[in-house]
Chain A
């Protein structure tokens, strides 16, 4: 139990530290990849907490998602390499308030509700994957399918809004 706690704290610390690095660096690519390693550390925390499927999924998904984000940051920002010492922070007062309120809300969510008794045994990894599959194809199927469709619609709509029509199309 103690070893587990030490690893959990280590990866938690790593996730926080990389989260800080996101805003401390001047380079867009470093910022995006710092966010990736922050998320990877959270995936490692899942693994430490014996949620194998969720951990591996988190580690896999974030690698590709954050890389895609990196290329968009490079494409749209004026100083992607950070050679002009661009500051990653802006609207500091608003950000501080938003961050503070977010932290408070998260802590209240952790402390206030009654989470019930702590589970003493964790189902095996095989069983977890099977249970997750049943959940996704049963009770939660409608939620996940509608979320997927919404995201797809949003992606298509965002792409359409982003494309600037050329002179011929404007006629």
Chain B
């Protein structure tokens, strides 16, 4: 039963997110816009590049969607409303998101096009830049909860949300999440400015529709992870728990989508330098500070 509810909410959430993205990018609100765009994509010819690696070309978008769905499986929307409450939930989320990298390499390598290939390998090059800043803040969150279970992590924030308890971890996690979902200003794997669409460049028709849907699911999964780890999950007064989850997740996703409008795209070398030198040091400091707080004043 939980699976059906979560999947239906996911579909609805992806649609709302598409509306918000259109609003953030094009500046006008259209409730039916994404539906027409999806229909148009489904009706369009799905081109296949010459001498492509067909297997990877077809599997890339599908693996991306599967990775997103797997990540969603461990995000609790309300007490009891979770697909599977694993004892290693936070680690599992990481494992699922690691396959975003594999999917993008496949999608980049598959079509036998220079722009796509550079974009795919570039995402791998950025690996330390986002993956470490996802894993290390989660470590600090798990330290406070004394558990890797996402339900326990939400419960541990009953007194004080983690965004106040470990603000540095929150900031690092959100930036890394935007890098992982390749959202502007960190949208380097599809870099419209220089790589003409990057991994998306050679995809058309139904394959592009799957790729875009998968990306929406990943954005939702990461927004859900941010809410679960830092914004108290379903916790909140007056409204029912699922209501709080929905509001928080959509708000975080909308904020992530809007940032790109107000910031210039960051250069790849600068993003890498900042992540390696500053990001990892701050993430380690965050683990240390949280450890000290947890030992001295347990809240």
Quick check: B91 and A57 within 8 Å, CB to CB?
Answer: yes
CB distance from B149 to the nearest CB of A (A): 7
Contact between A129 and B105 (Cβ–Cβ < 8 Å)? no
Structural contact, A33 and B102, CB atoms closer than 8 A: yes
Q: How far is the CA of A36 from the CA of B86 in the complex (A)?
A: 23
A67 — which chain B residues lie within 8 A by C-beta? 101-102, 105, 124, 127
B88 close to A129 (CB less than 8 A)? yes
Give the CA-CA distance A74 to B121 in the complex, in Å: 10
The distance in angstroms between the C-alpha atoms of A129 and B146, with both chains bound, is 11
Tell me the complex Cα distance, A72–B153, Å: 38
Residues of B within 8 A of A63 (CB): 95, 98-99, 101-102
A29 proximal to B (CB < 8 A): yes
Number of cross-chain contacts by CB at 8 Å: 68
Within 8 Å by CB of B53, from A52, A59, A81, lies: A81
Is the pair A125, B86 in contact by a Cβ cutoff of 8 Å?
A: yes
- Mask for B33-72, Cβ within 8 A of A = 1, else 0? 0000000000000000001010110000000000000000
Question: Complex: how many Å from CA A20 to CA B266?
Answer: 42
Q: Are B55 and A70 in contact (CB under 8 A)?
A: no
Chain A residues contacting B242 (CB-CB under 8 Å) are none
Interface status of B9 (Cβ within 8 A of chain A): no
B95: which A residues are within 8 A, CB to CB? 56-57, 59-60, 63
Q: Do A33 and B53 touch across chains, with their CB atoms under 8 A apart?
A: no
Q: How many residues on B have C-beta within 8 angstroms of the other chain's C-beta atoms?
A: 27
Query: Which of B91, B95, B127, B148: most chain A CB closer than 10 A?
Result: B95
Q: Which chain B positions have C-beta within 8 A of A23?
A: none
Say if the beta carbon of A68 comes within 8 Å of chain B: yes
Complex Cα–Cα for A83 and B112 (A): 11
Please indicate the chain A residues that have their CB under 8 angstroms from the CB of B121 in the complex: 71, 74
Residues of A57-114 at the interface with B, using a CB-CB cut-off of 8 Å, are 57, 59-60, 63-64, 67-68, 70-71, 74, 81, 83
Q: Contacts A56-B88, A129-B87 given: A29-B102 contact, CB under 8 Å? A: no
CA gap between A3 and B239 in the complex, in Å: 43
Identify which of residues 83-102 in chain B touch chain A, using a CB-to-CB cut-off of 8 Å.
86-88, 91-92, 94-95, 98-99, 101-102
Contact A53 B91 (CB under 8 A): yes
The answer to whether A129 touches B148, judged by C-beta atoms less than 8 angstroms apart, is yes
Chain A residues positioned under 8 Å from B51 (CB to CB): 83
Q: How far is the CB of A74 from chain B (nearest CB, A)?
A: 8
For the complex, what is the distance from the CA of A47 to the CA of B236, rounded to whole Å? 35
The answer for the CA separation of A57 and B88 in the assembled complex, in Å, is 9
Which chain A residue shows the least CB distance to B142? A129
Q: What residues of A have a CB within 8 angstroms of the CB of B106 in the complex?
A: 33
Known: A59-B95, A64-B98, A64-B101. A126 touches B87 (CB 8 A): yes
Q: Which residues of A contact B105 (CB under 8 A)?
A: 29, 33, 67, 70
Tell me how far the C-beta of B42 lies from the nearest C-beta in chain A, rounded to whole angstroms.
29
Partner of A52, one of B56, B88, B112: B88
For the complex of A and B, 5 pairs with smallest distance between CB atoms: A125-B87, A60-B95, A63-B98, A126-B87, A59-B95
> Which of A's residues lie within 8 Å of B, judged by CB?
27, 29-30, 33, 36, 52-53, 56-57, 59-60, 63-64, 67-68, 70-71, 74, 81, 83, 124-126, 128-129
**Known A60-B95, A64-B127, A129-B87; further 8 A-B contacts with Cβ < 8 A:** A29-B109, A53-B88, A63-B99, A63-B101, A71-B124, A71-B125, A126-B149, A128-B87
